[in-house]
Amino acid sequence: MTSAHTVIVGAGFAGAATAYHLARSGASGIVVLEQERLAGVHSSGRNASMIRQIVPDPSIGSLAQEGAAFVRNLPSDWPLLVNFEQNGSLLLASGKEWESLTRDAERARQIGIEVECWSRQRAEQYVKILKGADFDGAVWCPTDGVIDIHALLSGYLKSATSMGTEVRYGGSVRAIDVEDNRVTGVMIGNERVKADVIINAAGAWAGLIGEMAGSVKVPLLPSRRHLFLTPPLPWVDSRWPFVWDVSHELYFRPESGGLLLCPCDQDEMAPGIPPTDDSMIELLAGKVSRHLPEISSIPIKRSWAGLRTLCADGRFVIGWDPKIHGFFWLAGLGGHGVTTSSAVGALATRLILSGNEKSAGDISPKRFMEV
């Protein structure tokens, strides 16, 4: 039997960033357990790599701001070169969504994020393929961009390891030991790892890990989303920002000389690597031809899908479980887990090290305690 103080289940962005911040705060006895043979096999390695700060939910907005500031200015001892293309973002909307987007932009401005509201003419001049597109106005955020997710994820893990954290791959946590409503350890295969604190950073599996512990029931919904990559296209400018049409739920950005596009599909799915659905290319083609007429027909070279795990109320789930002592939730990061990773890891670290089972307000799992 091995002993740890803190076991983190999952080496995606949630688990890796928390290991990093815990280790950096001087915590010891941290073991990260990852069922795959390497990190980033699931959502953390299958996403669109965008750092986006303007979002409708204020609690996610401030974590996104803090997370974005971290990646723009990584600590000087960061172990890897992490490419961050700070090309900004352009969020488009029409009608009622344009009104809510301008409110989101105003809230972002109030917390210190640089934003500007652009006319559609200005947006069209900046990104030529928006000519004739269907939107009333655009919100420009110059400090957004696109990050090398693999280097960022590896950097968290490498730094944590250099500060004494152990990361173990290839073993799935299959049981959580609980005595008198307090966690005492986990089982991986036939091995028991004793622990005082267990952090549930298992992404799409977080609900199952919660069930193993007998925790409160958190309504987590893993949802599949597809991404499509074109071959290199002569008219794509690699300096374009990522462009997200929030009214028609479609986004694109430059990638490898071509475009990466997403039709923002959302289908509930069991945890795992989701199969791709051929009909999603039609969904994408339909949205592109209706809302981006300049590029109505584009070739697709590759597609893949990943899971975004959303809590039913759309908010993150971060904090101590109200039923099982020592069991900490770090789940439901939805479509924001890359951007917010450092802020989420730092918040979890503060809550864990404060020792008195403090709560993180409206993102705490306490909201699921039955009264």
Ligand X SMILES: Cc1cc2nc3c(=O)[nH]c(=O)nc-3n(C[C@H](O)[C@H](O)[C@H](O)COP(=O)(O)OP(=O)(O)OC[C@H]3O[C@@H](n4cnc5c(N)ncnc54)[C@H](O)[C@@H]3O)c2cc1C
The nearer residue to ligand X, 291 or 336, going by C-beta atoms, is 336
Q: Which stretch binds ligand X (CB under 6 A): 34-42, 85-93, 104-112, 131-139?
A: 34-42
Regarding 339 and contact with ligand X (CB under 6 A), the answer is: yes
Regarding 34 and contact with ligand X (CB under 6 A), the answer is: yes
The nearer residue to ligand X, 319 or 335, going by C-beta atoms, is 335
CA dihedral 287, 145, 336, 152 (to 10 degrees): 130
Angle, CA 206 vertex, CA 205 and CA 207 arms, to 5°: 90
Binders of ligand X among residues 2 to 31 (CB under 6 A) are 9-15
Regarding 41 and contact with ligand X (CB under 6 A), the answer is: yes
The CA distance from 84 to 251, in Å, is 19
The CA distance from 312 to 50, in Å, is 23
Task: Please say whether the beta carbons of 167 and 154 come within 8 A.
Answer: no
Residues in contact with ligand X, total (CB under 6 A)? 39
Give the x/- contact pattern for ligand X in 152-191, rule: CB under 6 A: --------------------xx------------------
CB of 341 to ligand X, least distance (A): 8
202, 216, 310, 318: which one binds ligand X (CB under 6 A): 202
The nearer residue to ligand X, 114 or 211, going by C-beta atoms, is 211
Tokens 């928006």 found at: 130
Relative orientation angle of helices 149-162 and 341-353, to the nearest 10 degrees: 30
Residue 24's alpha-carbon distances to 112, 151, 171, 255, 359, in angstroms, are 27, 19, 25, 34, 22
Regarding 307 and contact with ligand X (CB under 6 A), the answer is: yes
Task: Please say whether the beta carbons of 138 and 117 come within 8 A.
Answer: yes
Using CB under 6 A as the criterion, which residues of the chain lie in contact with ligand X when the complex forms? Answer: 9-15, 33-36, 41-44, 46-50, 172-173, 201-205, 225, 227, 306-308, 333-339
